[in-house]
Amino acid sequence: MPVVGIRQLARNASAIIRDVSKTGKPTVVTDRGKPVGVIYPFDEEDLEDYILANSPELAKRLERADRDIAEGKTIPLEELLTRFGVEGTTSASSRPEEARSA
């Protein structure tokens, strides 16, 4: 993995970022020889995943969902669909891709 000093990064930021993007390999950034960050190659999908994974609100919701599951505060999908008046959406024959090929 390439390593660049913070001064080198300041002087050559565009070239370093282009290299990360071109090679797909992350680059470690150091300050006085100690690692302080990493430049990762990202595409739009990676960025969305990163933002969601580091969202405090998402983390809270996932924790609450895990607690609800552990405490049995869930209902089966079929029951939920019935409550909302949706019928037959979980059966294999109702899948649009299968209906088209039949």
- Please give the CATH number for the structural domain made up of 3-41: 3.40.1620.10
End-to-end CA distance of the chain: 52
pLDDT for 91: 52
Q: Provide the residue-wise pLDDT of the chain in tens; the chain has 102 residues.
A: 999 999 999 999 999 999 999 999 999 999 999 999 999 998 888 888 888 888 888 889 989 999 999 999 999 899 889 999 987 665 544 444 544 444
pLDDT for 9: 97
Domain ranges of the chain: 3-41, 46-87
d(CA 91, CA 43): 36
d(CA 69, CA 77): 13
Q: What angle do CA 46, 49, 51 make, to 5 degrees?
A: 110
d(CA 4, CA 10): 10
pLDDT for 11: 97
Reference 39, options 60, 18, 17; nearest CA is 17
pLDDT for 89: 60
